[in-house]
Structure 1
């Protein structure tokens, strides 16, 4: 299976900047191709299609089967609170749907940006909701109390909780750093959203913090919940912590024939060994986790990203020559792994 995803992320808000709107499109400038959807992940899907078309056009008959899949909802939003239903499936829904309906193979190559390194593992992800309690209190009658515990305002308490979570996250990524033969995993964590119910004219009785934690393969969300509980409890205020999404991370097993095929193809195209992938590329969640979880050995390979100034990540650009090189590697990998007979 050659697998890439078609979805690019959520719809832009009405107040999005001109630069944010522009990067939603796609264009060529000099030797670079720009675009949020191009880089993640339509360029790699197109490269798979061009590689397969080239093999077919050459007259070569493959001995093994080749399946190309362009899936949706690789970047699905988790289900929580009022956000329920098919539009909030969590990570990897499209590829899970695919495998559950019998689209399987001996190996799966996921096309994503990887700096031309071979990504052999990805993190899991656990999402937590931390509810911080206060009291509804009319502003003229506000009495702040002598301690954080006594303060009635949930948002004031929330600010301290966010700082405690940030301190925990800094220690976490240092303590959980994991080096293996395929690179270095640095699982990170951050607050991704804060909100309260009700209207802006009245103080809320509670405030919710949504916290995204990446996990090294094998790490359990229950372990993280206990650590977060301890970190926030040190503030001596009323709160609850619940997990609402868990996606497992995996290190590829029995993927050596796929890895060797990519290495051979990379050496032929570049004249050198593939580099180690950047740490970020092995510290996120991608669809190879779905394949590895279901017993289909899977790795990821693709071109590097280039810098630009319009998106939040500032990395939604790619060299056209790099995309062509990746296409050549994909085509040679197909021939090596599937085997072939020439007409």
Structure 2
């Protein structure tokens, strides 16, 4: 992903203030308690722990051990012991709102199984070090595990440590959560079962079984210091074109591809039509609100047909897997009807459309989220010296785990450091913003210096 600066996005405006006003003395104490070298080392150490989706345990244990060593109460909750959600807790010493930070432990990468990766990646792509390794070079932090998402995770961990180090006790509770499976996978076709669960066992499971009671939530991910409180969902549709097997030596080729018994020959017309449909769909369903711009993108993710090791009679089935974004205002059923009408008009013969995955998009209630946004606004102005802006539309056109909390009527946003090649200074700014926001939401416990 290229740098997506939010500087050209509108300045966020709020009518309702944060619950607590952070003093200059508290600001100075927080700034003094955040050490850039410590934060950078934490991000690099955590980022260099292998943590593909399904293999998050080592990284989860590191976060748990770090929280315990720093004096935070800690617990692990998961659908199985190998993929736990880690929850740290601070504060709760008075009457104040509760804030939950969440970030995901898993990072996108190839499977490193050559029999699978060859269908998706070039050989050179699999060998790229950024998949699994993080390093500092020319004052830039390299590696996908830091950018997505253990860099932002490190920022809120250090932010919480800074509050504690500065002697600032919180009235409300601050939850620090590290979750598996946000990137994926999904149980699809033969890749079924618990081992292929993704989002269902992460923040969604944490919300229901993690012993948390948040008033607000922040999905800590890269947004180039912008903010959005809406996000797209998505559906994956399997579109089957059906035909008849034809023994190759006996095959009579029709002039018209649409008359060919092998549905693979009809796929070109389908792909061309879906491409045109997707362009219009994205334009028609663009959704803009005070919380961001969501553009529901469309892409063909995979195709399947036949069995190459038993060739000789073509295939009776051609399957295409179409990913369709869904804005917070959409549901899937009307989109499916649109796709089916398109297919009927193409005269491609017998077909079937079956949803493989469905996750709707969500947005926070405007009135409910404004105190959280106001807290971020004040923190961003003080740390960065410029106003908080709405995040680039890409960040409000994807799934992030703020969707989980907005789904459950907990006002939530996503915001954080630059997504691509952040500097150590960027991490420090993000940690400061998170710490100031936590104090502005949770408030300071009375009687504490």
State the TM-score, normalized to the length of structure 1. Answer: 0.92
* Ranges in structure 2 where 5+ consecutive residues have no aligned partner: 1-99
**Partner Cα separation in structure 2 for residue 216 and residue 103 of structure 1:** 27
**Partner Cα separation in structure 2 for residue 277 and residue 199 of structure 1:** 46
3-state DSSP class of the match of 2:259?
coil
Give the C-alpha shift of residue 229 in structure 1: 0.9
What's the CA shift string for 1:194-240, capped at 9, x where partnerless?
Answer: 01242342322111111110011131111110111122222212211
The answer as to whether partners of 2:223 and 2:395 remain within 8 angstroms in 1 is yes
| 1:285 and 2:392 are equivalent in the alignment | no
The answer as to whether partners of 1:92 and 1:290 remain within 8 angstroms in 2 is no
The answer as to whether partners of 1:144 and 1:150 remain within 8 angstroms in 2 is no
The answer as to whether partners of 1:5 and 1:72 remain within 8 angstroms in 2 is yes
Per the alignment, do residues 127 and 227 of structure 1 end up closer, same or farther by CA in structure 2, a change over 3 Å counting? same
- Which residue of the partner structure matches residue 75 of structure 1? 183
Give the C-alpha shift of residue 18 in structure 1: 5.8
* Ranges in structure 1 where 5+ consecutive residues have no aligned partner: 307-316
**Partner Cα separation in structure 2 for residue 197 and residue 87 of structure 1:** 26
**Residue of structure 2 aligned with 1:230, choices 338, 341, 346:** 341
**Residue of structure 1 aligned with 2:360, choices 227, 243, 248:** 248
**Partner Cα separation in structure 2 for residue 216 and residue 123 of structure 1:** 5
3-state DSSP class of the match of 2:221?
coil
**Residue of structure 2 aligned with 1:257, choices 371, 377, 389:** 371
Moved more, 169-178 or 132-141: 132-141
What does residue range 1-343 of structure 1 map to in structure 2 within 5 Å? 1-10=100-109, 11-14=111-114, 16-17=123-124, 20-24=127-131, 25-91=133-199, 93-101=201-209, 102-200=211-309, 201-202=311-312, 203-237=314-348, 238-253=350-365, 254-306=368-420, 317-341=421-445, 342-343=448-449
Q: Which has the larger radius of gyration?
A: 2
Give the C-alpha shift of residue 149 in structure 1: 3.0
3-state DSSP class of the match of 1:269?
helix
Moved more, 18-27 or 168-177: 18-27
Moved more, 153-162 or 223-232: 153-162
Give the C-alpha shift of residue 104 in structure 1: 2.7
**Partner Cα separation in structure 1 for residue 196 and residue 339 of structure 2:** 25
3-state DSSP class of the match of 1:232?
helix
Moved more, 193-202 or 94-103: 193-202
Give the C-alpha shift of residue 318 in structure 1: 2.1
What's the CA shift string for 1:242-296, capped at 9, x where partnerless?
Answer: 1121112111121111111111100101121112211110001111111111121
Give the C-alpha shift of residue 138 in structure 1: 2.7
The answer as to whether partners of 2:148 and 2:419 remain within 8 angstroms in 1 is no
Per the alignment, do residues 18 and 222 of structure 1 end up closer, same or farther by CA in structure 2, a change over 3 Å counting? closer
**Partner Cα separation in structure 1 for residue 375 and residue 200 of structure 2:** 25
Larger helix share, 1 or 2? 2
State the TM-score, normalized to the length of structure 2. Answer: 0.71
Moved more, 207-216 or 193-202: 193-202
**Partner Cα separation in structure 2 for residue 249 and residue 7 of structure 1:** 21
Give the C-alpha shift of residue 90 in structure 1: 4.9
What's the CA shift string for 1:31-84, capped at 9, x where partnerless?
Answer: 210111111100011111011001101111111111100000112222222121
- Which residue of the partner structure matches residue 16 of structure 2? none
